[in-house]
Structure formats: C-alpha cells, structure tokens
Amino acid sequence: MKTITAADIAAMEKLTRVQFATSLPGVKPVALIGTRSSEGRTNLAPFSSIVHFGSNPLILGMVSRPDVAERHTLSNLEATGVWTINHLHPGIIEAAHHCSARFPSETSEFSATGLTEHFEENFHAPFVSESRFRLGMEFAGRLDIPLNGTTLILGKVVLVQVEEAALATDGSIDLLGLEAVASTALDTYFGITPLGRLSYAKPDRPPTRIS
Amino acid sequence: MKTITAADIAAMEKLTRVQFATSLPGVKPVALIGTRSSEGRTNLAPFSSIVHFGSNPLILGMVSRPDVAERHTLSNLEATGVWTINHLHPGIIEAAHHCSARFPSETSEFSATGLTEHFEENFHAPFVSESRFRLGMEFAGRLDIPLNGTTLILGKVVLVQVEEAALATDGSIDLLGLEAVASTALDTYFGITPLGRLSYAKPDRPPTRIS
C-alpha cells in the first residue's frame, strides 16, 4: 500500500490535488441539474455531489462550490424554488460533460449541447428529455459551510419520472436496466455491473444474496 | 415514462418509500466507516452518503441518520475526533453489509464479521485491513439539519492508503483497477465498467475522450 500523508497532500500541485480529492469519495453519482431563471433562461450543470438526506419527507442534498459556473444553478434555484435532477445514460455523457464548460449566462446549455428541454405543467424548471430517470425538486433549505465557502442545498422530491419497466413494486429503481452512469474525479465516467442484492442484515448471521 | 407525484410518494408504504428514496440519488458510493470509542471499542458501519466538500483543505462529508445503529459511529467520532473511510471491493461486500446489522455497542463489527483491524501510529481509529483504498479523517465540523434530524459530518482527509499501482501521477485513483464497489438503495451493490475520461470542457466544442 502507498501512504499519502497530510504533508504530501499539502505539497500537491493544485490540479493534482483537485483530481485526487474528487477521487476520494469512490464511485460517485452524476446527474444534470436543470434550472430556469425568473426571466426564463434555462441552465444545465453536472453535479456529482447528490446525496440522500431522508425518506420522509423525501430529501436530497447537493453541494454547490463557491465558483462562477455553478452560481447560475444556485441563483436560479433560489430565485424560483425549483430544479430538476436528470440522471445520465451512456448516450448523453459527452453532452452532460460539455455542460460543465463556462458558458455565459445568456447561453442555455440545452441549445449549446443539443439536449432537449422537457417541461411539466406547473413546474418552472426544465427536465432533460433524453434522460431516462429524472426528478423534480422543491427548495427545502440551504446551509452554508463556513470552512470553505461551499453551500449544501436541500430539496424535497416532488416529481419522479422513470422508464416504466425500471420501477419495481417494492420501490426499487432498476439502475442496471436504465444503464445508469457513475463518475469519479472531474472527468471520468463508469457504467455499472451487478454484484448482488443482499438480505436485511441481522447480527446473528451473515447476509445472503436475494438476487 | 412513468410519473410519480408527491401524492404518490406520500401514499407509499414506509419500506417501499425508503427503498424508493434511497434509489433516487442514482449510483452511490459505499464504504465502511471505522471508529473507536475512548474506551477502545472498535466499530464499523456502512455509509453511502460520502460526498466531496472541497479540495483545499481536502474535506469530505457524510450524513448520519437519527437512528440507533449509526449513533455508535457519531458518538465515537465526536468523542475521539477521528474516523476512517474504507472503500470496498467485491470480496468484502457481504461482511460490509453485515456491519449494518444492529449489533450491541459492546460487540465490534470487526470480530462479528471477520474483517481485520489495521492501526496506524498516532491514529486512534481502526482501518479495515482488507480494504484496498482507505482514508484517515479528522473532525472538521458538524451541521444539524433541523428539517429531519439528520446530521452532516465534515472531516479533513489526513491520511490516504491505496494500492501502489492505483495512484497516477496526475492525482487520479484507478477505481477500475481497485474493483471499486458502488451501491443503490439499502441493499444493492454494483461493480463498475469504463465509459471514458473526457477532456476539460470548453464552451466552443464538445469534449473528446482522453482515455
């Protein structure tokens, strides 16, 4: 095993440290966050910091960095109170990654990358039509992290759209069938393969595979 | 596409809603959090809410639910200020899942599941010897989420141990070579397959594959 100490981390070049740091959570989610300004300009930005915060109410969080590109997302969602989370499949990873470029605020990442807007009645934010699994979110809170200027945004899930065959009666979503995409660092994308679903864990015996 | 509304979510049975809710982030990380009480009792608990909060200083967060099983982790790391994050490979997913069982606090999940403690000098928390990629963490902050009683724990990465061949000179960690494991919902584990590494995104042209 190679050991990297706090001193080694402090001595890294900036880009090396960012690539290293964003690899440390392991396999991460990745999805396109869709917002629309009060004036009607749509925006898309890839986020890999989407995390479950609770099941009742159904709350997800995401982390906004203190930099220019993502402030379009943060300012739009705070102004309008809604956003969408659009999961990826292999056919749209290049377009999704392209959305991380620093487009000016008057350019919609939809038109710049060829992705298609999809709107639901009475919901201000745009969904990505090409996504097979997408969520409509309502603002539920914001926590600023004084340590480094990042912001945790909390949202309540108010709408889910997923390919019919992917939703099981027990509430599971078939990420394998959807060809869900994972990520690491800032630029690397993965597909997934099955390893198994395990039984509810009990202290007195090891779990068994239930599929 | 199937549409699930807020009313549909509210009408779900509790277990269905939990399975559904924990599927919504998409592909999630999963790792074993290692702690040790002031009295020296070790603890392991699987977490899938590990998220990058910053690269300088190098900060990761994780979410602790307001329930009994995970309070061992929370109370140990608050008492001692340190914990470990131990990434999984396919050979240890059953043991890792077993650690989610509600063991009494006097039982170490290490001895209960057959995983092996590994200690580093001057670091109180136990690493998992079988892990190929593990992090030593120091407490950096805690934010309580009044919305639902969850707690966001922030930690600074002070030590990284990874198989020698998996660390590239540009700071990347080779998750494919490490056979890193991902998860969804409460009970489902995935391997990963390569989809590609994409070039830094520029507004004026689509990204290209750099590997």
Nearest Cβ partner for B20 among A113, A159, A171: A171
Q: Indicate whether A204 pLDDT > 80.
A: yes
Which mean pLDDT values do the consecutive 10-residue runs of chain B (211 residues) have?
Answer: 96 96 97 97 97 96 78 92 98 97 92 97 97 98 93 97 97 98 96 96 92 82
Contact A179/B at CB under 8 A: no
Choose among A165, A143, A167: nearest CA to A153: A143
Residue B69 is predicted with a pLDDT of 53
Q: Is A69 on the interface with B (CB under 8 A)?
A: no
Please tell me the distance from the alpha carbon of residue B58 to that of residue B62, in angstroms, as a whole number. 14
Is the pLDDT at A13 greater than 70? The verdict is yes
Chain A residues 181-210 within an 8 A CB cutoff of chain B: 181-182, 184-185, 187-203, 206-207, 210
**Of residues A121, A139, A115, the one with CA closest to residue A45:** A115
**Which of A193, A107, A26 shows the shortest CA–CA distance to B96?**
A26
**Among candidates B24, B58, B112 on the partner chain, residue whose Cβ is nearest the Cβ of A9:** B58
Residues shown for chain A: 211
Contact criterion met (CB < 8 Å) for B172 and A185: yes
Residue of A24, A57, A145 lying closest to B154 (CB–CB): A145
CB–CB contact A198 B94 (8 Å) = yes
Tell if the CB–CB gap between B195 and A90 is shorter than 8 Å.
yes
Nearest by CB: A19 against B5, B172, B188 = B172
Task: Determine, for residues B29 and A28 on separate chains, whether the beta-carbon distance falls below 8 Å.
Answer: yes
What ipTM score was computed for the predicted complex, to two decimals?
0.96
Helix, coil or strand: residue B73: helix
Output the pLDDT for position A70. Answer: 54
Q: How far is the alpha carbon of A119 from chain B, nearest alpha carbon, in Å?
A: 13
* Distance between A43 CA and the closest CA of chain B, angstroms: 14
Phi, psi of B90, deg, nearest 5: -60, -25
For residues B154-183, one letter each, b for 16 or more C-beta atoms within 10 angstroms of the residue's C-beta and e for the rest, the string is: bbbbbbbbbeeebbeeebbbbbeebbbbbb
pLDDT of A179 > 60? The answer is yes
* Residues in chain A within 8 Å Cβ distance of B29: 25-28
Residue B61 and residue B67: Cα distance in Å, rounded? 18
Tokens, residue B170? 């540009």
pLDDT at A68 exceeding the cut of 90: no
Write down the pLDDT at residue A64: 93
Q: Note whether A122 contacts B: Cβ–Cβ < 8 A.
A: no
State which residue of chain A sits closest to B46, comparing Cα positions. Answer: A201
Whether residues A2 and B90 touch (CB distance < 8 A) is answered with no
Question: Would you call A140 and B150 a contact, using CB atoms and an 8 Å cutoff?
Answer: no
Cα angle value A67/B63/A44 (rounded, 5°):
35
Average pLDDT score over residue span A112-126: 97
At position B149, the amino acid (one-letter code) is: G
Chain B: give the shortest CA distance to residue A128, in Å. Answer: 13
Mean pLDDT of A102-128: 95
Q: What is the C-alpha separation between A86 and A92, in angstroms, rounded?
A: 11
For residues A47 and A28, give the distance between their C-alpha atoms in angstroms, rounded to a whole number: 10
pTM of this structure: 0.96
Query: Does residue A69 have a pLDDT over 70?
Result: no
Q: Does A164 touch chain B (CB under 8 A)?
A: yes
Strands (E) located in B81-129? 82-87, 117-118, 127-128
